[in-house]
Structure 1
């Protein structure tokens, strides 16, 4: 129906605006994926058999890698502070220590 009849005015999106929306959607998707990867790695670490030091150390490395990737993804999205995420996700100090954080 023509906009003159409906009273609606259509404003076509520019190519740049469409591209910015696509980039934002990809960033959000990637950030969500990285966050789920951290959650899974932390769950596996928490369920690790404390008597198996080798397996626990391997899971600790996997968790540290996942957290590192998540922090990088957050920074690429412009999110520089990680304190709230560390608290909300209950990222253990031993994982942060593997990243060189204190």
Structure 2
């Protein structure tokens, strides 16, 4: 009696060629970038929360603005990378990461350096 692989399993096996390898590596790079950006968002939000929980000197407003801008930039890059990966549901991400409205309002803004 011969045993045959079920058809549902055998259709997923494709011979390895240049396109398959390239596609796999591109997906791997996208996933790596997404993970890296996720960590950057977490660190930027943590720095903002730590600052908000502490005492501030005379330059507190300037420092907080810089932290808000950094968090917004990290969230913006993360948002773009998620879109490139085909992930488009932002409500869950905002909730899971606890992204403040103040940060979301700055996402995508172009800021000019002070002269």
TM-score range, shorter chain: 0.7 to 0.9
Indicate the structure whose relative CO is greater, using CA pairs within 8 Å and at least 6 residues apart.
Answer: 2
What runs of 5+ residues in structure 2 fail to find an aligned partner? 1-13, 109-115
1:47 to 37, 50, 55: 50
- Distance apart, 1:99 and its partner CA: 2.0
Q: Specify the alignment match of 1:68 in structure 2.
A: 76
| CA 69–78 in structure 1, closer or farther in 2 if over 3 Å, else same | same
Q: How much has 1:12 moved relative to structure 2?
A: 4.3
Q: Any unmatched runs of 5+ in structure 1? A: 1-10
The separation in 2 between residues aligned to 1:50 and 1:61, in whole angstroms, is 20
Counterpart for residue 18 of structure 1: 21
- Deviating above 3 A after TM superposition, structure 1's stretches of 4 or more consecutive aligned residues are none
CA distance in 1, matches of 2:15, 2:88: 34
Q: 2:96 aligns with which of 65, 77, 88?
A: 88
| 8 Å CA contact 1:50, 1:56 repeated in 2 | no
CA-atom RMSD in angstroms:
1.7
- Aligned pairs, number: 91
1:34 aligns with 2:37: yes
